[in-house]
Structure 1
């Protein structure tokens, strides 16, 4: 029957040995109630009743429930919800973002499993979730190995309900699980923040679906780990060190095979033009203006980040996309000094381009893999730096060449707005991250101070 007299009261705490919370309402004069272990769960149930009343659903005078709740459908599990969230986010997310979402959903899912008989090993659970469950097309749309199908079936049966997170204590336990790595050690602060960010966003989607009135994580008082946004000054190479490193790259792998020589220009773009590795990998000859004398220009509009085949729509290991944090059609014009112009002209004369015009390519003509230029860079550090510097963080990663470039420009007195424009950053990010002294710059400053003091001796 359709009830025209539905009244839903507030949540009342009962003074029992183990505190519980009642939700009370009436239908056609008949009073009904349900008890819950926490106030959050009670609020969640009451919100469902209110929503049904607002939408004019039929309330049964015998059960006191609206039609949908009277049928008592199984509550939405976290795992089922996570699959819906993934399907919503995947089409619009960049490949690296997809990887991060996958990793975060896997961590939450593992924390939301009940102890049921037949639990697979932790590494089997993680691989099944990472490689099959939280990737599109999903396991229902492709052939899945029997052991993976059995594992995911167990996960579906063992996943706690989404309503479990309405209790702040439970939500805190999930958040705390992000802080511990598989080996029991503390997880990196940036990893914890990335997983929390995805978790919070997923709960916003749960609110959109009507599962919660408000994001349940907002009620959790949880200390987020602090992440340093500043570049470690120890990684920054001075111009002399950078030149030595670039020279050493040409010796990697021997002259004839040219494993290192074909990468000198790639690393030079990172240092002399401040390019990100993915920007340098995507450079093509039409993007360059290389005069015989003076400064040249690079027009950036394409990046080729290395992400993995399962994350890209094309099925290739490298994504093909526009500039970072910019509209797809945006470009960035970067002046390049004569030294880099000379390096790139020599590179084109020696190696030419790939069939699609790319400057830097593998021996087979493919996109240069990050693992390839990473290994070459590590070998060049051994050749160029003394043992103490090799053991230090100095220029440990190819990306540190970009840090060195931006620090050099700032120390040269270039206006931060101009540096930010060339680097593709905001001025705020630039000054917060890259305004670091060059390695050895303190000695220069000390000498100047000492010279000034000596004038008064």
Structure 2
């Protein structure tokens, strides 16, 4: 490292009125420019105030008689601070702040994203382990706060030691080339094939939040992802209409469920009401798994009511506070103690009453449980559903996306209500969506309204 006391500063560069070749003005038009010995440096900001603040900071360091690094242009004390924290170390501190309040599934997806980035953002040192080994120790040992003190095998310890010693400084992620390398890593799977667009966007969002946190702490000047773009496939957020079953198909599917595993009633008949709740109450599978008898108002005649208030998504033992596979959460996008009242038709009332008469409840009052009294695993109800599809659908339909997942029962219910003329506000309330999200997600599933709307418009304008 070559240092110098010879530092000169220029006035703030103002390019706010200049346009690039594309006719657009620069997003960060105000430049701080200075020279260490004979090497020129610059940093650019979105406002003149930020640029002046940075220039003043550098000038104060020079007035205090601090040495500057000729190559980077930074005061030595600042350079030491920037280089003192590696990406892995900062990712660990980030996980420490996020872990307590994050849902178990969010913990898992955050660790997955940071493990992908952390395995890519390393020096090319001797003895570099394979990428899958680096991701493995990050996922299992280094990032989750609950497993950092776990014992490691000799091979695992060697990988951890190499990674800790070769994780690049966080500040190097301000370089566009380095950022692009990490983004490229987020966009591929371990086998080198392209990851799904949704996976890439999710991982990029995690990295964006981590870097925004670094900006808050003053560790980097700005979030580099705001200026480094990478073209990816468009993420489709709408429900594929091919998965939506019509009422007749759903009826056959729910009947077929009762024939699955006749020797083991926990496989089919026990889950028939679970699937029916997904359709007639438009409940998410995780909400159905958390349903308790106390949540149900089931009169002998007429409509009933479900007070959905708990969700039991499968997350994995590593990510839950309880060490169980299923997390215990409130409803999606709602407060912890919020409930969603869902009126249910007489048909579902009868199905749930029959279920309670035949199977009762678990010790905690839940309607649907495993033979041991725990939460029904997703693999169990997926297997039942797959078998029911083979019974109820034609071979061509079974090979298609039609009702391919239990979650598609919810899609069928919401689509049916929207196409039947139920106001979007009421459908959104029952399904636990906002109206704008509801209409966006189900836009391709709304059909058969044109003739009705045409007649309504015709009546409004009058036709003499």
Instruction: Please indicate the TM-score interval, normalised by the length of the shorter structure.
Output: 0.7 to 0.9
Which residue is 1:109 aligned to? 118
Which residue is 2:349 aligned to? 341
Q: Please report the TM-score for the alignment, with normalisation by the length of structure 2.
A: 0.82
Which residue is 1:133 aligned to? 142
Question: Aligned to 1:80, which of 89, 101, 117?
Answer: 89
Do residues 353 (structure 1) and 358 (structure 2) align?
Answer: no
Listed as ranges, the gaps of 5+ residues in structure 2 are 1-6, 14-30, 45-51, 452-464
Question: Aligned to 1:251, which of 237, 248, 259?
Answer: 259
Which residue is 2:64 aligned to? 59
Do residues 192 (structure 1) and 197 (structure 2) align?
Answer: no
Q: Please report the TM-score for the alignment, with normalisation by the length of structure 1.
A: 0.83
Kindly state the Cα deviation for residue 159 of structure 1 after the two structures are TM-superposed.
1.6
Kindly state the Cα deviation for residue 437 of structure 1 after the two structures are TM-superposed.
4.3
Cα distance change, pair 330–370 in 1 and its aligned pair in 2 (3 A): same
Do residues 240 (structure 1) and 248 (structure 2) align?
Answer: yes
Superposition map of 1:96-175 within 5 A: 96-139=105-148, 141-175=149-183
Do residues 424 (structure 1) and 432 (structure 2) align?
Answer: yes
Q: Distance in 1 between matches of 2:59 and 2:404?
A: 62
Q: Distance in 2 between matches of 1:128 and 1:254?
A: 44
Kindly state the Cα deviation for residue 299 of structure 1 after the two structures are TM-superposed.
0.5
Deviations 1:17-58 (A, max 9, x none): xxxx99746xxxxx757667x968xxxxx998854766x899
Native 8 Å contact 2:266 2:371 kept in 1: no
Which residue is 2:4 aligned to? none
Q: Distance in 2 between matches of 1:191 and 1:73?
A: 31
Superposition map of 1:306-317 within 5 A: 306-317=314-325
Count of residues in Structure 1 that have an aligned counterpart in Structure 2: 417
Do residues 322 (structure 1) and 327 (structure 2) align?
Answer: no
RMSD, aligned α-carbons? 3.0
Kindly state the Cα deviation for residue 426 of structure 1 after the two structures are TM-superposed.
0.7
Cα distance change, pair 59–336 in 1 and its aligned pair in 2 (3 A): same
Query: Which deviates more from structure 2 when the two are superposed, residues 303-312 or residues 141-150?
Result: 141-150
Cα distance change, pair 260–212 in 1 and its aligned pair in 2 (3 A): same
Cα distance change, pair 74–199 in 1 and its aligned pair in 2 (3 A): closer
Q: Distance in 2 between matches of 1:72 and 1:257?
A: 63
Native 8 Å contact 2:317 2:324 kept in 1: yes
Native 8 Å contact 2:283 2:410 kept in 1: yes
Do residues 262 (structure 1) and 270 (structure 2) align?
Answer: yes
Q: Distance in 2 between matches of 1:71 and 1:279?
A: 50
Listed as ranges, the gaps of 5+ residues in structure 1 are 1-5, 13-20, 26-30, 41-45, 446-457
Q: Distance in 2 between matches of 1:424 and 1:129?
A: 35
Cα distance change, pair 116–10 in 1 and its aligned pair in 2 (3 A): farther
SS at match of 1:206: helix
